[in-house]
């Protein structure tokens, strides 16, 4: 039995990959396809396009070694969180484990450390490392991204993580789960690109959103909801009962010792107060206006421009709030 017929976009991606691997010049359509589907390869082989990749090889190797440790902390921390949830006596929505499954699946990507990907490109060893479909990558947050434990960049599917990311602190794992929701959202957007015209629209949308720090509310609401649900599981349902525990007890239970960890924890407590039914919410349901307003305020306080889509289509009409 034959599989699904390849779309126009799939066909151009295939020809782009062939041209890329054989050293041929890519056509304009192939460049669009490659920039959409595997921008990380273009960045690493050309050495251009990602300002976070060091040009000095010694610096590159040093960052690769540090990132190996950070990635290990992320993956073990996520797995520890999963265990806590499975041990919880609370009822959880069925989709709550999807971020954990996504991180686990990406562990099959041998070059998920983007510095290692670049090194493999420099050493011309990329063909030895097949990169799975929908892979994403990790890099160090650096000085410009130290406000939280992790963040995600859609354009090249890269998650940035702080060097002090702790597998022992549930709050760091919860933040990583938030970012993994954005990975899954990008998976869905990519799967909807079937033509080169739509790929061009996608790249234009990323370019527009990249002009200044921006977020799309339609993506942040489910990500924050997932944070609440996971934190509630770790706290054995205490987050859904505001009077059950004190702020200090929540901070201690989530291992929030650093100032930025405590800010995230207090944010979750604030969101839980305006969204009392978060623990039973599923992605197909609407979000309370009070919750959406609080998320908008949080994003604005972090100096993000906030946009809203008119539909579930990432390429739909976009309006600044």
Q: What is the pTM of this model?
A: 0.94
Measured between alpha carbons, how far is 196 from 180 in angstroms, rounded to an integer? 27
CA distances from residue 174 to 36, 149, 163, 255 in whole angstroms, order as listed: 28, 9, 16, 11
Tokens of 160: 């940035």
pLDDT tens series, the chain, 321 aa: 455 688 999 999 999 988 887 888 899 999 999 999 999 888 887 766 788 899 899 999 999 999 999 999 999 999 999 998 888 766 777 789 999 999 999 999 999 999 999 999 899 888 788 888 889 999 999 877 767 789 999 999 999 999 999 999 999 999 999 999 999 999 999 999 999 999 999 999 999 999 999 999 999 999 999 999 999 999 999 999 877 889 999 999 999 999 999 999 999 999 999 999 999 999 899 999 999 999 999 999 999 999 999 988 899 999 999
pLDDT, position 1: 42
pLDDT the model gives residue 90: 67
Which tens digit of pLDDT belongs to each residue from 210-251? 999 999 999 999 999 999 999 999 999 999 987 788 999 999
Q: State the first-to-last Cα distance of the chain, in angstroms, to the nearest integer.
A: 49
Tokens of 41: 């390869």
Output phi, psi for 133, to 5 deg.
-60, 140
pLDDT value at residue 87: 85
Detail the DSSP E strand segments found in 112-166.
137-140, 150-153, 158-161
> Which runs of E-coded beta strand occur in 89-234?
137-140, 150-153, 158-161, 214-216
- The predicted pLDDT at position 89 comes to 66
Closest listed residue to residue 210, CA positions, set 19, 71, 39, 26: 39
Q: What is the pLDDT of residue 3?
A: 54
- 153: tokens are 């960049």
DSSP assignment letter at 213: S
Q: How far is CA 230 from CA 121, 157, 164, 240, 256, in A?
A: 38, 23, 21, 11, 15
Q: Mind listing the pLDDT tens digit for each residue in 136-159?
A: 999 999 877 767 789 999 999 999
């Amino acid at each position: 039995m034959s599989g699904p017929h390849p779309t126009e976009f799939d066909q151009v991606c295939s020809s782009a990959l062939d041209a890329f691997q054989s050293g041929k010049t890519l056509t304009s359509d192939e460049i669009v396809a490659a920039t959409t589907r595997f921008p990380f390869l273009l960045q690493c082989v050309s050495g251009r396009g990602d300002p976070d990749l060091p040009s000095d090889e010694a610096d590159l190797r040093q960052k690769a070694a540090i990132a190996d440790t950070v990635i290990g902390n992320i993956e073990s921390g996520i797995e520890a969180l999963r265990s806590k949830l499975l041990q919880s006596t609370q009822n959880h929505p069925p989709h709550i484990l999807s971020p954990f499954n996504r991180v686990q699946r990406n562990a099959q990507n041998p070059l998920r450390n983007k510095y290692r990907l670049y090194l493999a490109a420099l050493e011309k060893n990329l063909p030895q490392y097949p990169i799975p479909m929908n892979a994403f990558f990790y890099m160090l947050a650096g000085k410009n991204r130290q406000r939280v434990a992790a963040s995600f960049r859609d354009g090249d599917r890269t998650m940035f993580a702080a060097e002090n990311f702790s597998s022992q602190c549930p709050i760091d794992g919860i933040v990583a789960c938030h970012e993994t929701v954005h990975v899954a959202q990008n998976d869905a957007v990519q799967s909807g690109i079937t033509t080169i015209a739509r790929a061009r629209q996608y790249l234009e949308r990323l370019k527009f959103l990249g002009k200044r720090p921006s977020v799309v509310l339609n993506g942040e609401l489910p990500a924050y909801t997932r944070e609440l649900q996971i934190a509630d599981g770790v706290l054995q349902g205490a987050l859904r009962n505001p009077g059950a525990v004190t702020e200090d007890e929540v901070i201690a239970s989530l291992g929030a010792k650093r100032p930025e960890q405590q800010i995230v924890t207090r944010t979750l407590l604030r969101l839980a107060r305006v969204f009392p039914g978060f623990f039973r919410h599923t992605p197909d349901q609407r979000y309370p206006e009070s919750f959406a307003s609080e998320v908008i305020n949080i994003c604005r306080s972090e100096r993000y421009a906030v946009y809203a889509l008119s539909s579930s289509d990432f390429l739909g009409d976009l309006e600044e709030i």
